Structure 1
Amino acid sequence: MNPYDLLIAPFAEFSFMRRALVGTIVLAFGAGPIGVFLMLRRMSLVGDAMAHAILPGAAIGFMVAGLNLFAMTAGGIVAGVLVAVLTGIVARVTELKEDASLAAFYLLSLALGVTIVSLKGTNVDLLHVLFGTVLALDDPTLILIGSITTVTLLVLAMLYRPLVLECVDPGFLRSVSRSGGPTHLVFMALVVINLVAGFHALGTLLAVGLMMLPAAVSRFWVRDITAMIIFSVATGAVCGLIGLLVSYHAGVPSGPAIILVAGIAYIASVIFGRHGGLWRQLFPGRHLEA
C-alpha cells in the first residue's frame, strides 16, 4: 500500500473521516490544557468521575428528545454541575472526604444513566452514549465542539496566572488573593463542558481519555507548564489522526482506537520519557550526558 492510500486517501475520499478528524483535533485543543491542569492539581481522577457524572443528564435528554444534540448537551452540563455542587456540600457538612463523596456520586450517576438509556433505547443507543460515534459527527455537533473549545481557551487565557499559581504554590495564592475559590469553580465548569463536548464524539467512557492521556504523556517530556499544554494538544491531535487511520484500515471502532493509540503513547513515555522515564532512571549516566 502506497503512502497516499495509507495516510491521505481515507480523508480525501470520505467526508465523515474529515469531520471526525476535525472534531478530534478541536477536542484536543480544549481538552489538552484542561487535562494538564487537572494532572498538576492532582485531580486526574476527578475528570473520570465527572465524565460519568454527566451521563444521567445526557440520558434524560435522550429520553425526552432522543439523540438530540442540544437536549443531551444541556442535560449533561446540568448533571455535571449538580454532581460537582453536591459533592462539595457533602464534603463540607459531613465527615466524608471529597474524593469519597465524588466516587459515590459518580457510581450512582453511571448506574442511573445506563438504566435510563436502557429503558428508553436499544443496545445500539447505549453503545452510542457510552462509546460515542466520532465517525457520525455532523455540522451542529462540530459547531458545538468548536464553540466549547473557543470558550475554554478564552477563559483559560484569563485565568492562566491563578491556575498556574494554584498548581505551584496554592498557599501563596491564598495569601495574596481571594481568587482561588472562584477560579476553582470556573475551572470545574470548564471540565464539565469539555467532557460534554467529548461525550458527543467519544462517549462517556472514553471522553476523559483524550483529556488525561495526552496530559500524562506531556509530563514525561517537558517541565514548563506552557510547553506541557502545547505538547498535550499536539499529542491529542496526532493520536486522533493515527487512531482514525487505524480504525479505517483495521475495521475497529474509532473511539476506542483513538484512546488505545493515546494509551500506547503513554506507555512509550513511561519507558522512554525524557523526565522520569524508566530508561532514563536505569541509565542515569546517559541522561547526564544529554
Structure 2
Amino acid sequence: MILDLLFGPFLEFGFLRRALVGCLALSVAAPPLGLFLMLRRMSLTADVLAHGILPGVAAGFLLAGLSMPALAAGGLVAGLAVALGAGALSRATGGREDASLAALYLVALALGVALVSWRGGAVELTQLLFGSALGVDDAALLLMAGTATLTLAALALAWRPLVLECFDPGFAAAVGARGGWWHMGFLALVVLNLLAAFQALGTLMSVGLMMLPAIAARHWSRGVGGMAYAACGIAALASFAGLLLSFHADVPAGPAVVLGAGLVWAVSVLAGPVDGLLPRLVRRAHLAG
C-alpha cells in the first residue's frame, strides 16, 4: 500500500516520470550554484536574475508562441543582459551593484508581464510566471539535461577558484585567479539554470530549487563539499515529495516542489546538527547543567 502510494503514480503516468526526470536534473546542478551564491552573500541575486529573464522569455513568446527554443534564447539574452548590465552600471556610476540589480529587476518584471499580457492571455501569463512541471516536453527535458551536464562539468573545472573567491578573495587576486572572469562565468551558469527551470517552476519560482536546498544544507555540514551533496539530496527529495503531493492533493506541481524544499529547510533550521535550534538548546542545557 505504501509502495503503491509512493511509486505507483510514477509507474502509471508518463507525464509524472518526465516531470521527475526534469526536476532531478535540476536538483543535481542548481543547488551547488545556490550554495556559492549563499556563501558570497548573493542569495537574492538569483531571485533578481530569475525575474530578469522574463522580458526575453516574453519576447520569444511574442515571436514564436510557446516554442521552447525561442523562449530559451530570449531568456538567456535577457538574463545575461541583467547580470552584466548591473555590474557595468555600478562601475560607470559609482553606485552599489545591488541597487542596480534591484532597479533592473523591477523594470524587467514589469516589462515582461506587460509584453505577455499584450499578446497573450491569463493562461500564457500564468504558465510563464508559475510554470507547468507536468507539461514538460522533449525540448525542455533536453535543456534541463544539457544544462545539468554543462554545469557539473564547469563546476568540476571551477570548484577551487570559486571556493577561494568565497573565503579569501584577496589571496585569490594576489595569486592571479582572475576572479572577475570566474564571477561572470558563474553568473552565466546561474542564468542558464534558471532558464532551464522556468518551464517546470516558472520565472517566479525557478529560484526555489536553487536556493532553498542550499540554505537548508548549511545545517547539515560544515564543509563546502558536504553542503553541496546535502543540497542536491534535499532538492531531489523535495522534487519527489512535491510531485507526489501534487498528484495526491491536486495542487500545482511547481509550488508543491518549492513547498517541499521549504519544509526541509524548516526541519533543518529546527533540528539540523549544525546550528539547528534544538541542538543549540540541548548544548546550552548541557553546559548549564
TM-score normalised by structure 2 residue count? 0.97
Residues 1:248 and 2:247 are matched in the alignment: yes
1:176, CA displacement in angstroms? 0.7
CA distance in 2, matches of 1:96, 1:52: 21
Is residue 131–residue 203 contact of structure 2 (8 Å, CA) maintained in 1? yes
In structure 2, distance between residues paired with 1:174 and 1:268: 38
Q: Displacement of 1:178 after TM fit? A: 3.8
Q: Which residue of 2 aligns with 1:206?
A: 205
Alignment partners' CA distance in 2, 1:287 and 1:115: 58
Task: Give matches, 1:50-65, under 5 Å.
Answer: 50-65=49-64
**1:9 to 2:8 alignment:** yes
Paired positions, count: 287
Deviation of 1:286 (Å): 7.1
Aligned to 1:115: 114
Q: Report the Cα offset of residue 285 of structure 1.
A: 4.9
CA-atom RMSD in angstroms = 1.2
**How far apart, CA to CA, are the structure 2 residues paired with 1:281 and 1:226?**
23
Deviation at 1:267, TM superposition (A): 1.1
Q: Spell out, residue by residue over 1:218-254, the C-alpha distance to the aligned partner (whole angstroms, 9 max, x if none).
A: 0011011111111111110110000000010000000
Given that 2:208 and 2:258 are in contact with CA atoms closer than 8 Å, whether structure 1 keeps it comes out as yes
Q: Higher mean Cα deviation, 255-264 or 2-11?
A: 2-11
Q: How is 1:1-290 mapped onto 2 (pairs within 5 angstroms)?
A: 2-285=1-284
- Find the aligned partners of 2:181 and 2:286 in 1 and give their Cα distance: 42
Give 3-state SS (helix, strand or coil) of 2:48's partner: helix
- Structure 1 residue 184: Cα displacement: 0.4
In structure 2, stretches of 5+ residues that fail to align are: none
1:166-216: per-residue Cα shift (whole Å, max 9, x none)?
Answer: 111111101111421110010010000000001121100110000000000
After TM superposition, give the deviation of residue 287 of structure 1 in Å: 7.9
Partners of 1:169 and 1:280 in 2: how far apart?
30
Q: Give, as a single letter, the amino acid of the residue that structure 2 aligns with 1:174.
A: A
Return the offset for 1:32: 1.3
Q: CA deviation at 1:282?
A: 1.7
Q: Give the letter aligned to residue 14 of structure 2.
A: S
Q: Percent same amino acid among aligned pairs? A: 52
* 1:4, distance to aligned residue in structure 2 (A): 3.0
Q: Which AA in structure 2 matches 1:25?
A: L
Work out the CA distance in 2 between the residues paired with 1:181 and 1:17. Answer: 41
Residues 57-83 of structure 1 deviation map (CA, whole Å, 9 limit, x = unaligned): 000000110000000000000001111
Partners of 2:196 and 2:283 lie apart in 1 by: 42
Give the drift of 1:154: 0.5
Structure 2 counterpart SS, 1:37: helix
State the 4+ residue runs in structure 1 displaced beyond 3 angstroms: 285-288
Looking at structure 1, the residues matched to 158 and 7 of structure 2 have their Cα atoms a distance apart, in angstroms, of 39
Contact map agreement 1:280 1:287 (CA 8 A) in 2: no
* Matched AA of 1:132: G
SS of 2:221's equivalent in the other structure is: coil
Kept in 2, the 8 Å contact 1:280–1:286? The answer is no
Provide the TM-score with structure 1 as the length reference. 0.97
